[in-house]
Amino acid sequence: MCELLGMECNVPTDIVFSFHALSLRGGLKGPHSDGWGLALYERHAARVFLEPRAAAHSELARYVRENPIKTLLAIAHVRRKTRGAVSLENTHPFMRELWGRHFVFAHNGTVRRVRHLPTGRFHPIGRTDSEHAFCALLHVLQRDHKSYPRDREKLWRAIARAAGEIGQHGTFNFLLADGEHLYARCATRLHYLIRKAPFRTATLADDDLTVDFSSLTTPRDRVAVVATVPLTRDEPWTTGVPGELWVFRKGRLRATLKST
**Amino acid identity for residue 14 in this structure:** D
Q: What are phi and psi for residue 77, nearest 5 degrees? A: -155, 140
The candidate with the shortest Cα–Cα distance to 164, out of 245, 44, 97, is: 245
CATH code of the region 3-258:
3.60.20.10
As a whole number, mean pLDDT of residues 95-104 equals 98
Measured distance CA(172)–CA(112) in Å, rounded: 10
How does pLDDT run across 46-91, given as a tens digit for each residue? 999 999 999 999 999 999 999 999 999 999 999 987 777 899 999 9
State the pLDDT at residue 184: 98
State the pLDDT at residue 214: 87
Strands (E), 14-158: 36-42, 45-51, 71-78, 94-98, 101-108
Domain spans in the chain, listed from the N-terminal domain onward: 3-258
Q: Enter the pTM of the model.
A: 0.96
Q: What's the N-to-C CA distance of the chain in angstroms?
A: 21
48 within 8 A of 106, measured Cβ to Cβ: no
How does pLDDT run across 11-35, given as a tens digit for each residue? 999 999 999 999 999 888 888 888 9
Measured distance CA(120)–CA(115) in Å, rounded: 13
How does pLDDT run across 150-160, given as a tens digit for each residue? 999 999 999 99
State the pLDDT at residue 237: 97
By mean pLDDT, which of 103-107, 183-187, 204-208 is the weakest? 204-208
Q: Is 2 a catalytic residue?
A: yes
Helix (H, G, I), strand (E, B) or coil at 60: helix
